[in-house]
Each structure stands twice: as C-alpha cells, then as structure tokens.
Amino acid sequence: MFSVQGTPNCVKMNRTNILLTFDYELFLGARSGTAQKCIIEPTNKLIDILKKNGAKGIFFVDTLYILRLKEVAARHPKAANDFEEIIAQLRVALKNGSYIFPHLHPHWLDAEYMPEANEWKLDNKRYYRFNALDKCQQQDTFDQSVKLIEWIASAVTSDYKIDGYRAGGWSIQPFADFMPLFLKHGIYHEFSVRKETYFNSDAQYFDFRNAPQPDIYHFADDILKEQKSGVFKEYCISSVKISKYVSWCSSKANSLRHVLGIKGYGDGIGVKSLNVETSSQHDAHGNFELMASIEEFNIVTYFEYKKAAKNTDYMHFLSHPKMITPLQMHLFDRFLRTLKSKNIETDFRKFTAVKAEPHQVPVAL
C-alpha cells in the first residue's frame, strides 16, 4: 500500500511506517476549554508514552492561539502561566525527538480572552478558514507562526527544520493560498488530506474525493494531482475499514462510555458547523471507514487498529490530546508496546531516503 512512485530508494516493504500526529490546540466552539485540561495534561501523558516506546510524534501547534495567548499574558497571570507551560512542554517534546510544526486556525484572530474563566470566546466564524483572510493577513499570520516555532525550537537546537504543515480544519484548499508561503519558508511535507472525504459548512471546507491513490505522493501546485517531479509531498491521513457488525459493536461501546460519563481530558466544546454537506463514511455494504485516531479507540475498535497496523506498511494517525480519554491513553501505550515486535518506523524523515529538491519548484509564484 505504501509507495512513493518514482523514488528509487523506497523504504523496505517489511517495515511499517506509522505516523503519530497530534493537533495541539484548544476547542474552537462554544467553550474553548482551558490550556491545562485540553493541552498540558494530556500532552504530558502522550510525551511520556512516546518516550517510553521509543516513538516520535508530530505535534501540529495551533500557533495563532499561542500568539494570542502571549499577547494577553502581559496583563493576565493565568495566561502567562499557560504560555510558559506550553512553551516548556513543546521544548520537551522536541528534546525527546518529536517534531513541532505550524497548524493555523485563523479563527483566533478575533477571539476574545475571558480572564475570570481563563478561557476564550470564539463566537465569530468569519475567519475559520485560511482562505477567508486577505493576502496580507495570510502572509502575516503564516510568517509569525513560523517565527514562533523557530523561537521555541531555538532553545533546544540551532538547526531545527520547519518543513511540515497541517491546515486548521484540513482546509488546505485552494492550495494556491499556501503554495507561495510554503515555498518562502521551505515547507515541503503536507499532512492534511484524508482520501475520499468531503466537508462543506459555514466554517470549514475541504474536498479530497479525488485525491490520488498512493498514501504518500508528490504534488506541485494542485494537492489533488500526483506529480512525481512535484516538490511537495503529501502524507495522507489513514482510515481503517470496519465491518457493519464491528461498527455496531463499537457504537454500543461508545454509548456505554457516554452513559458512564467518561470523557476526554479536554474541558471545552468543539465548533458547531451549520449547513453541513459531507461525504458518507459507509460503503454500499455498510462497512465503515474509521479515521486512524487514538480518540476512536475503544474495547472493540482497538483490536481492529492493531490488526490493521500488523497488515499494512503505512498508517497515519491523527489525534487530538483534548479528545483522548484516560482509557484511550492506556490503549495507545499498549498499542505501541504490542507493535514493538514489528519493525516500525515513526519518523517520517526515514520513510524514504529521497527528498524532493527545491529546484523542482514550478516557477509561477
């Protein structure tokens, strides 16, 4: 399944490439939640689990939130404390070998800080998509985001390369918005596409129904068009197919979880989208495509993920620390432990020896 066509030094087929990616962020809906519960507490546990199992993660950092936090930290001690803890935590993640890359949610541009609750008001959805910003705002927010990551990393290493990106809300289209910024900052690895999915609402938009077949592919100016000479590389988010019966059992396990009041670490509420159009995750036989994600682990699906990881050579997990429950955290640790007997690689830089060269960039900017 894993293939980077046109790259002569492809990874050996007996190795499983597992990407463990995390969106490092608060909630973006009616309640942002607190940094302690949504970010610090669960991420500390994830960092420990990754370290214990010799695995690397990629943390996609909601840079515009952190920049806004820094702004209010000058006047509010609780925000200042959150800011310091977040920076320190990201530096620990880096020291342990994980990556930190930018993840922009422009929704933060008009968010309002509420000092008493130490939370944020995010009512207005006008800036939810990067595409809603004008060119000047796009450039400014992107430049500041890269600068922030550079500053965080500079305390750990002098040559940290910021060359990966995941779009907030997966809204990477139109890619023309990002292409000049990617080229300016040397970003060549993209992590937003989940094949066969589509979502359109008053806040968010992406359409990956025509994404190329390979799990990893090169592209140039169109994210949905595989181009072997393209300078950018897409690492698709994986799905795991589960049968109608397993899907039914899983929904029962999730219902039980809700009845028992078991929730994720985070204390916020996600964005509520209106006028939603979306692709179905069921096929004609009722099988279900479950996203590869720790927050989808339960006592039923866990075994499906384990089976899938053993039978594939590429799996890209996308998880949100804020959504993970203590049981899922425990299952994640077990998942990595059981895979140790297999030859797994969690560092995307080691997936292939060949890197696209900047001189292959199409000239039109």
* Residues in contact with Zn ion, shown as a per-residue x/- string from 24 to 63 under the rule CB under 5 A: -x--------------------------------------
CA distance 34 to 267: 7
Q: Which amino acid is at 14?
A: N
Q: Do residues 46 and 53 make contact, with C-beta atoms less than 8 angstroms apart?
A: no
Question: In whole angstroms, what is the distance from residue 35 CA to residue 100 CA?
Answer: 17
Helix (H) or strand (E) holding 114: strand 112-114
Alpha carbon distance 24, 63 (integer Å): 9
Minimum distance between the CB of residue 320 and Zn ion, rounded to whole angstroms?
7
119 binds Zn ion, rule: CB under 5 A? no
- Residue 179 CA to residue 28 CA, distance in Å, equals 26
Q: Between residues 23 and 234, which has the closer beta carbon with respect to Zn ion? A: 23
Nearer to Zn ion, 118 or 204 (CB): 204
- Rounded to whole angstroms, the Cα distance separating 244 from 288 reads 7
Nearer to Zn ion, 168 or 268 (CB): 168
Closer CB to Zn ion, 25 or 289, in the complex: 25
The answer to whether 244 touches 287, Cβ cutoff 8 Å, is yes
Checking phi first, is residue 249 left (phi over 0); if not, alpha (psi -120 to 50) or beta? alpha
- Other C-beta atoms lying within 10 Å of the C-beta of residue 326: 13
Stretch that binds Zn ion, among 22-30, 184-192, 232-240, 345-353 (CB under 5 A): 22-30
Residues 138-197 binding Zn ion (CB under 5 A) are 168
Residue nearest to Zn ion (CB): 23
Provide, rounded to whole angstroms, the least separation between the CB of residue 211 and Zn ion: 19
Q: Is 23 in the site for Zn ion (CB under 5 A)?
A: yes
Site string for Zn ion, 249-288 (x = CB under 5 A): ----------------------------------------
> Cα–Cα distance between 335 and 257 in angstroms, integer?
20
Total number of residues that touch Zn ion (CB under 5 A): 3
Q: Any contact of residue 295 with Zn ion (CB under 5 A)?
A: no
Residue 340 Cβ vs Zn ion, minimum distance, rounded to whole Å? 30
Closest CB 128 distance from Zn ion, rounded Å: 11
Cis peptide before 358 (omega within 30 of 0): no
Cβ 230 to Zn ion, closest distance in Å? 25
Instruction: Give least dist CB 105 to Zn ion, A.
Output: 6
Q: List residues binding Zn ion (CB under 5 A).
A: 23, 25, 168
